[in-house]
Amino acid sequence: MSAEIGTGRRVGPDLRAEDPVRMEPHVTAAEALAVFRRKLPDALAEVRMVHHPFWWAALDVRTRGLFRRSASGPGQRMDVLVNAVSGRGMIADFTPRGATTGSSEWLSLIGGRSGPLPTRVEAERTARSLARAKAVKTVKLGMGIEITPASSLRGVLKPNWIVSGGNARHEATILVDGLDGSHYIVRVDKVGRS
């Protein structure tokens, strides 16, 4: 079953997220504006909150010893977020929490995108690869690693702030992470002189 999104593009069942988690930001709009003003002093700017879609994979990672065939102990829980648009993943140092929202918001965020979107299978593969890479750093040579899903893949709407503005010399747009305040400069333009 597929859904028509305003672009006329079909979103297959592989890209749907049932009851995605909508996270609330820990960073306030004032803090996001302060990040912008540290980069661009004396700037006038506007701040708006956006949510970006991510796949959330909760994984249990256990290791096997050199002389044992089965994994022992409870292992380690890893929460991995995979961007539902770009396919890039990151190991989260938090478990996503928030209110569940309808799948229509999820579909509106990914339905308007052009180009191929990562499928659930690709998101799971990315999550497993990241978890394995992290676990390999902590085990001895010859030890086995067992990765099992703790639950099925779930959608997460991660909060971010888009801050746009400028001063007498530059105009810029930056994205400020709504959870930890880290930032990414999206665009910077020099203001023309008259």
114-156 pLDDT per residue, tens: 678 888 999 999 999 999 999 888 777 667 788 889 988 999 9
pLDDT of residue 138: 78
More confident residue, 6 or 153: 153
pLDDT of residue 73: 59
pLDDT of residue 107: 85
49-69 pLDDT per residue, tens: 999 999 999 999 988 766 655
- Computed over every residue of the chain, the mean pLDDT equals 85
Using alpha carbons, select from 14, 82, 43, 69 the residue that is nearest to residue 166: 43
pLDDT of residue 55: 94
pLDDT of residue 187: 95
pLDDT of residue 178: 94
92-111 pLDDT per residue, tens: 988 999 999 888 888 888 87
pTM above 0.85, yes or no: no
Decide if pLDDT at 1 tops 50.
no
How far is residue 12 from each of residues 41, 56, 124, measured CA to CA in Å? 46, 19, 17
Mean pLDDT of the 170-181 span: 95
